[in-house]
Structure 1
Amino acid sequence: MAVTLRDVAHALGVSHTTVSNAYNRPAKLSEQLRRRILDTAAEMGYQGPDPLAAGLVRRQAGALGVLFDEDLAHALTDPAALLFLQGVARAGQASALGLTLLPAPRTTEDLAARSALVDGFLVYSVAAGNPGFLAALRRDIPLVVVDEPAPPNGDDWMFLGVDDRGGAELAARHLLELGHRRIGVLVDRLTPGDRQGPADPERLAATTYQVARERLTGYLAPLPEHPWIWECGGGTPEHAVPATRALLASGVTGVLAMTDELARGVLRTAATMGVAVPRDLSVIGFDDIPEASRTDPPLTTVRQPLADKGVLAVEVLTGARSAGVRLPTHLVTRATTAPAPR
């Protein structure tokens, strides 16, 4: 069996990215470390990275695999995922690369990533330890993770994300500045699965989705009192209905929804209950999908560059842009926030 880049990394006790840098980005390493890597690789019979893994120079399949944690029907209907895919498709077309959409099942059965005919992977927001992600990671072809999981050691894999924590903190501070103190937070999921209900400290500590953890950390940072936090079991507007009813019954005047889709569910549910937005209830989403400006009233939200993130992910994968980037977020104030009711 041929020696791989990962075999060399394992022998040296370093990440595969460090070994790759010895060949492709020598300026990132000390000369001593680079020489040790090259000498060990030569002793093991490793001939250096395939040109494919050095930037997709010599493509074999002519396609990129996009790995989703959700089922593919969700990927093709969720507005945020669709915008990301549009960016990926635009950049892929410019590089004459096709797209292969792959589910990342949460079991070790039927892992499409193990045998997919692709030249590289874009892993889109999966839970740490997801078997599909781990299977892709073992393929020894270029791989970029978008949003999560972030590499624990900084260079375990190429990464592209956004400032989730900073954006969430902006949203929470906006409600505080408007005088809101009874605030609820809606999160789609803290762990894989469809659990619904209030999230106590023990449940929050069990969070495996890094984006959820980052946004919760941002929400909580400026709040003088702990908010009501409700896990919705999914990210569609319908998933927000039970949570919204529960939060309104508890007397909240402001809701921080972790996605615009959940925020849309809050607005619909409030309308059916006769709760006026923003007079009685202020609502802030996250993402700024196109529908956010078309809700009634238009949604205040945290904007992230969803389509641009797709373009940049392909550029990182093909070596046109450096990894380790966190894109900025900012608050877009529209008509669903107002001073807290007296």
Structure 2
Amino acid sequence: MDGRLTLKTVAAAAGVSTAAVSYAFNRPGRLSEPVRERILAVARELGYAGPDAAGRTLRTRRAGAIGVIFTVGLSYAFSDPYVLAMLSGLTEVAEPARTSLVLIPFDLGADGHDDDGLREGLVAVHRAVIDGAIADGPADDHPAVLALAARNIPLVRSSTTASGPSVCIDDRAAGVDVGRYLAGLGHRDVTVVVACPQPPGVPVPVVDEATLYPYSALRLAGIREGLGRRARVRVVSGGRNAPESGRAAAALVLDGDRRPTAIAADSDMLAAGVLDALRQRDLEPARDVSVSGFDDSSLAGPAGLTTVRQPVREKGRLMARMLLDPDFTERRVILPTELVVRSSTGPATHH
């Protein structure tokens, strides 16, 4: 194929105008079927695949796509029920609007200073042919956020700490609900399991809270507030948000000298790992150690997990509407949460 093939090349070979060639690829209803078929046949013979998407965007300011920024690898993201629910909400709005989703991984590695990850992420953001972007969680100083701002790409995020448009929940208030509930059951010795920027399954017995994801820091602060000053709160992690991280974090406290009466995980994925760790030690949730999660994802109900319900699909829908629906003028939406009590929690028992 000749890389210099253009609309003009095809138009000259087919004996039509360049506009007719553009219509054949982008607006077929403007041409009769025989004319369109003849143009496409000539294009195939020449090896012309169609107008360049990036070039078309520069002219029309409409790529017909929005980017979804993932601060983790895509293989991990698609294992998370929260992410899948959010994507489902996005597509409910994007599909009727004939808008595609461009998935953009921007993984900075365990310590947040992976030069290769940074370089690859920046290249992906700068090359993406998109009209806007959605990101779940990154702070204002994240390189992806800064790169999108440099391109003047509209961005919607899902964090209460984000400047600019956002659809979020009040993570701290939801954490307060968890803490107050556990305190009401008599729990005064509570371990909080959080996600942190480490590989999944790596025990972190002393967490540097300054490095926590914004949502984790807010939920932790809320749980502490809800439990009150008399409670003993230990914060541990097992790495990024994954069941193996929950198992590793739970092992730190279940195998220690002083077992907590409750473990509050800041996601259902982590809580699932905590429940696994209990089963491995023949301990029963609620009877021996109470366990709570966060999100009320698809795995929470079958596991009998007490958790905070947030409307994840609705979050995805509203984030997409902020970018795609001109009649949707709100720039900041805070969605409600609800504490859902199930069988994984019960009154505190003294060990």
TM-score range, shorter chain: 0.7 to 0.9
Given that 1:228 and 1:247 are in contact with CA atoms closer than 8 Å, whether structure 2 keeps it comes out as no
Partner of residue 109, structure 1 = 119
3-state DSSP of counterpart to 2:226: coil
Given that 2:148 and 2:154 are in contact with CA atoms closer than 8 Å, whether structure 1 keeps it comes out as no
Distance in 1 (CA, whole Å) between partners of 2:165 and 2:198 is: 23
Partner of residue 184, structure 2 = 177
- In structure 2, the CA distance between the partners of 1:71 and 1:127, relative to structure 1 (3 Å rule), is farther
In the alignment, is residue 133 of structure 1 matched against residue 145 of structure 2? yes
CA drift of 1:146 comes to 1.9
Structure 1 residues 200-211: aligned runs within 5 Å: 203-204=208-209, 206-211=210-215
Partner of residue 268, structure 2 = 260
In the alignment, is residue 121 of structure 1 matched against residue 133 of structure 2? yes
Q: For each residue in 1:126-168, what CA deviation from the matched residue of structure 2 results, as whole angstroms up to 9, or x when unmatched? A: 24422222111211122111226511xxxxx212211111111
Partner of residue 291, structure 1 = 299
| One-letter amino acid of the structure 2 residue matched with residue 67 of structure 1 | I
Q: Count residues with an aligned counterpart.
A: 274
Distance in 1 (CA, whole Å) between partners of 2:270 and 2:170 is: 20
In the alignment, is residue 212 of structure 1 matched against residue 220 of structure 2? no
Distance in 2 (CA, whole Å) between partners of 1:122 and 1:242 is: 31
In the alignment, is residue 158 of structure 1 matched against residue 170 of structure 2? no
TM-score by length of 2: 0.74
Given that 1:67 and 1:133 are in contact with CA atoms closer than 8 Å, whether structure 2 keeps it comes out as no
Partner of residue 69, structure 1 = 71
3-state DSSP of counterpart to 2:319: helix
Distance in 2 (CA, whole Å) between partners of 1:68 and 1:267 is: 27
Given that 1:304 and 1:328 are in contact with CA atoms closer than 8 Å, whether structure 2 keeps it comes out as yes
3-state DSSP of counterpart to 1:326: strand
Q: Please, which of 296, 312, 315 is the counterpart of residue 306 of structure 1? A: 312
3-state DSSP of counterpart to 2:215: helix
- In structure 2, the CA distance between the partners of 1:208 and 1:300, relative to structure 1 (3 Å rule), is closer
CA drift of 1:192 comes to 6.6
Distance in 2 (CA, whole Å) between partners of 1:305 and 1:293 is: 15
Partner of residue 80, structure 2 = 78
Q: Please, which of 89, 92, 96 is the counterpart of residue 91 of structure 2? A: 89
| One-letter amino acid of the structure 2 residue matched with residue 330 of structure 1 | E
Q: For each residue in 1:277-336, what CA deviation from the matched residue of structure 2 results, as whole angstroms up to 9, or x when unmatched? A: 1111110100000110011xx110001111110000011122424112111111001111
Partner of residue 226, structure 2 = 222
TM-score by length of 1: 0.76
| One-letter amino acid of the structure 2 residue matched with residue 293 of structure 1 | G
Distance in 1 (CA, whole Å) between partners of 2:171 and 2:246 is: 20
Q: Please, which of 317, 336, 344 is the counterpart of residue 328 of structure 1? A: 336
3-state DSSP of counterpart to 2:192: strand
Partner of residue 147, structure 1 = 159
Given that 2:305 and 2:343 are in contact with CA atoms closer than 8 Å, whether structure 1 keeps it comes out as yes
Partner of residue 174, structure 2 = 167
Q: Answer with 1 or 2: which has the greater Rg.
A: 2
Q: For each residue in 1:229-273, what CA deviation from the matched residue of structure 2 results, as whole angstroms up to 9, or x when unmatched? A: 102211111111121122122310101000001101111110110
Given that 2:155 and 2:165 are in contact with CA atoms closer than 8 Å, whether structure 1 keeps it comes out as yes
Q: For each residue in 1:43-65, what CA deviation from the matched residue of structure 2 results, as whole angstroms up to 9, or x when unmatched? A: xxxxxxxxxxxxxxx76211110
**How much is the aligned-residue C-alpha RMSD, in angstroms?**
1.8
Given that 1:125 and 1:148 are in contact with CA atoms closer than 8 Å, whether structure 2 keeps it comes out as no
**Structure 2 runs not aligned, ≥5 long:** 1-59, 109-114
Distance in 1 (CA, whole Å) between partners of 2:264 and 2:94 is: 35
